[in-house]
Amino acid sequence: MTNRPCALLDWIPTMWTADEIASLCYKHYSTKLSKTGLLDLRREWTLLAAVVKVEEMSSTKPCYSSARNDVALEVVAMGTGSKCIGQTKMSKDGNVVNDSHAEVTARRGFLRYLYYQLKEAFKEKNSILAASRHNGKCNLKPDISFVFFMSHTPCGDASIIPKAEHEITPCPKMTAKETGELREKSVQDNKSVEVGPSSNNEEYPQDRKRKCVKSPTQLSVKRVKSVHESGDCVSGCRSVSEGKPCHPSAEGSLGVRINNNHICATETIHLSSHDTAAPHIAGALNADESKQMQIKVSDIHRTGAKCVPGGLQDPHKPGVNYHCVESLRVKPGRVGQCPYNEEAMKRAILDRCRHITSLPKEFRVHDVTLLQSQLEFVHGRHSLQSSNEINTETFVPCAAAISWCAVPFHPLDVSVNGFKQGATKKILGTPQARSRICKAELFREFRELLTFLSDKKRPISLRNNTLKTYWKFKEAAANYQEAWNEIQKQAFVTWIRTPRDFLQFQ
């Protein structure tokens, strides 16, 4: 899900429905993914995300939907997962997957798919991309676009859903004396807070923090994470004051790091000043993972901005976006059946970026269409909770993450704790233990891609022979980096950046 031309708003819904996209993704999940890495249905759940290729078809060609003969739909990348690793487990060699949430594993699988399509284009074979004669880049063929699908709303702001008027009940501040369950405990030199359960949400006991109450004075949080400009994550003590915006960023948001293994490993909760609502937080903080680096500020923004840049481009200008691919047309986002609030989704995904200015001329803020399917993911948390076969006391997110992409060699990747599933301690730190979607492996594929181009045919941004490290190659995409920095400064000021020494591998 990311930018697309506004002119397509009225045209897109006539081509397919949200249920068609969801049905295709769920069928692909159940038939194409290996049983290896799939969850134990008696005690585990997971999240699902996918990228679907949409190709306009003539009436003589077969299509996915028998009801229409105008498009063909194909899943080209899919991911599952709901976990992050801790900061202490991060690697400076790029051989660990730090964030294994479904939208991230799907996006990285999509990158592998694009690399393969680029190779095919460079070899002048059948590809969704056509090589440009002007600047060494490739353009997406005009009859192809993509749709991003998720089985659940992105964790963080998009999943903070206000209560209906009839559901609102006062929620006074919790104190250790009143509940006997609010306590501090130290893990090494870092502290976190455990908040006892609440009885105000009967429908989804593990979803309490997704609901809101009326007054922002009702939130009591003792410790949050703050970030130095260098990107380092440190602990700090703050409190939410009487209804005052806690941060000058868009929508008056405060980033509060909540660890909850039932939802996702790390989340950022935003308090919105315009709706005078603060999230009702419940569930225990995981102190063992309190040093995690990954932050969730509408992760779908990162999925779009870091994967498929959009907007009009100057084909003769070097260093625009990433190096080898021009803009890709990515259509509306689809979300499966789950707790969903359109206002929260728009606030998190659209409104936070509407005010952004000073972008390079190749970039602009686009509107998107957000649709919800009525089809539920069978291995999602809420779907499994409704069955009588699970043990609710031991119901946990699946430890494994799966990434699949439409490539001929090694399309499937299963990882646990950031490494390839089955990797033993003896081989940790070696290429044999790497997931195919870790930074080091994607960087290897990227550099292999460059061998198909002579120096004269490469984009100008890649003709510098001094480029050696992962970060230097990313930094060379100058206009993209400028745009991404503006987005972070104006909309996501609490976004935690990976320290640069974690990006210096070759």
Tell me which residue of 382, 379, 376, 374 sits closest to 19, measured CA to CA: 374
382 CB-contact burial (10 Å; exposed 0-12 / middle 13-18 / buried 19+):
middle
Dihedral (C-alpha) 60, 62, 66, 67: value to the nearest 10 degrees? -50
What's 500's DSSP letter? G
Instruction: Identify the bridge partners of residue 277 per DSSP, sorted by sequence position.
Output: 272
- 8 A C-beta contact, residue 467 and residue 476: yes
Residue 305 and residue 327: Cα distance in Å, rounded? Answer: 11
Residue 171 and residue 319: Cα distance in Å, rounded? Answer: 52
Which member of 103, 289, 362, 441 is catalytic? 103
pLDDT reported for residue 239: 31
**CA–CA distance from 338 to each of 60, 86, 166, 287, 370 (Å)?**
37, 28, 21, 28, 14
What's 137's DSSP letter? -
103 among known catalytic residues = yes
pLDDT reported for residue 59: 53
Q: At what angle do helices 439-450 and 102-122 cross, to 10 degrees?
A: 10
Residue 401 and residue 38: Cα distance in Å, rounded? Answer: 8
pLDDT reported for residue 154: 81
- 8 A C-beta contact, residue 362 and residue 320: yes
Q: How many degrees, rounded to 5, is the angle at CA 253 between CA 250 and CA 257?
A: 135
Tell me which residue of 367, 166, 168, 199 sits closest to 276, measured CA to CA: 168
Residue written as token pair 């509940």 = 179
Residue 383 and residue 385: Cα distance in Å, rounded? Answer: 5
pLDDT reported for residue 180: 47
Structure-block tokens of residue 102: 């479904």
pLDDT tens-digit series, residues 281-339? 223 333 344 333 333 433 444 443 333 333 333 333 333 344 555 445 454 454 555 67
Instruction: Identify the bridge partners of residue 490 per DSSP, sorted by sequence position.
Output: none
- Beta carbons within 8 Å of 374's beta carbon, 6+ residues apart: 18, 19, 337
Tell me which residue of 36, 35, 38, 30 sits closest to 398, measured CA to CA: 38
**CA–CA distance from 270 to each of 273, 296, 297, 358 (Å)?**
9, 10, 8, 25
Bridge-based pairing of strands 211-213 and 161-162 is parallel
Tell me which residue of 282, 292, 291, 288 sits closest to 262, measured CA to CA: 282
Residue 399 and residue 416: Cα distance in Å, rounded? Answer: 6
| Coil, helix or strand at residue 311 | coil
Residue 77 and residue 100: Cα distance in Å, rounded? Answer: 15
For the whole prediction, is pTM greater than 0.75? no
- 8 A C-beta contact, residue 471 and residue 499: no
Tell me which residue of 297, 303, 356 sits closest to 490, measured CA to CA: 356
Structure-block tokens of residue 254: 């405060």
Residue 388 and residue 392: Cα distance in Å, rounded? Answer: 9
Rounded average pLDDT per 10-residue block, the chain, 506 residues: 31 70 95 76 89 80 52 95 90 94 96 96 92 80 92 80 59 49 42 40 40 37 38 34 37 35 32 34 34 39 39 38 49 56 82 89 82 90 78 83 96 95 91 96 95 86 90 93 93 88 95
pLDDT reported for residue 163: 66
Task: Give the long-range contacts of residues 34-39, CB within 8 A, separation 24 or more.
Answer: 34/402, 34/412, 34/414, 36/414, 36/421, 37/80, 37/400, 37/401, 37/402, 37/414, 37/421, 38/379, 38/398, 38/400, 38/402, 39/379, 39/398, 39/400
Tell me which residue of 401, 479, 481, 422 sits closest to 98, measured CA to CA: 401
User: b/e string for 425-458 if b means 16 or more Cβ within 10 A?
Assistant: eeebeeeebbbbbbbbbbbebbeebbeebeeeeb
- 8 A C-beta contact, residue 397 and residue 83: yes
pLDDT reported for residue 211: 40
Cα–chain center distance at 181: 33
